[in-house]
A and B are shown apart, each in its own frame.
Chain A
């Protein structure tokens, strides 16, 4: 598609439950990025993929968070044993193959994760 599609829009989980978020990048884009927005305005980089391979995972918490981008499937971000502090809006972005310089990332509308 022509837009980054994130599902669900809103996800509510009890503390300790698992949460799984999905992202369909723009067709033909080879890079996928996940960001976490907390406190309304702070974006934190989590992980990026080049096709199905992890490109940069320096922002991923070592425990409980995992992500995948498999061929012919939406990318996913999974949080095990959720904590209250995981409450945030999670944005996915994609960009085309980077030949030179930097290509702008195109963002989805986010998934709001609420941990109760």
Chain B
């Protein structure tokens, strides 16, 4: 049973435009969500996170939105840059266990 889902395996965006990556979850016990970026042959790199008590968190070009009632979060990257091309994973956890449940990733390609 996939508790965290990223339904778009891939996304292509023009340089300078907005990239929107989506993630859905089913477990209402999750209270913390994170986005990681991964290049081939490297480990995931932390990008941005959000607590369930918030609905938005912003860090530079990256903004994460959380809709608790819909059990949905999204990552917005504005403006997108070619260096953003990577696989993006969303992860969810609850503050009791700290273990991450990952989505299956979305491969973002930013075209120059």
Query: Which A residues fall within an 8 A CB radius of B?
Result: 4, 31, 33, 35, 41-43, 45, 48, 55-56, 58-59, 91, 93, 95, 98, 101-102, 104-110
Contact = CB atoms under 8 A, between A and B. Distances in A.
B17 to A, nearest CB: 25
B102 interface: yes
B32 A109 contact: no
A101 B95 contact: yes
Nearest to A95: B98
A16 B98 CA distance: 33
Interface of B: 32, 34, 36, 41-46, 49, 51, 87, 89, 93, 95, 97-102, 104-105
Given A41-B104, A42-B104, A91-B43, A101 B32 contact: yes
Contact of A107 (B45, B98, B104): B45
A101 B51 contact: yes
Contact of A108 (B43, B100, B104): B43
Centre residue among A93, A102, A109 by max chain B CB count within 10 A: A102
A56 B98 contact: yes
B97 A102 contact: no
Contacts of B41: 109
Contact of B98 (A91, A98, A110): A98
A76 B49 CA distance: 28
A105 B101 contact: no
Given A41-B87, A43-B89, A104 B46 contact: yes
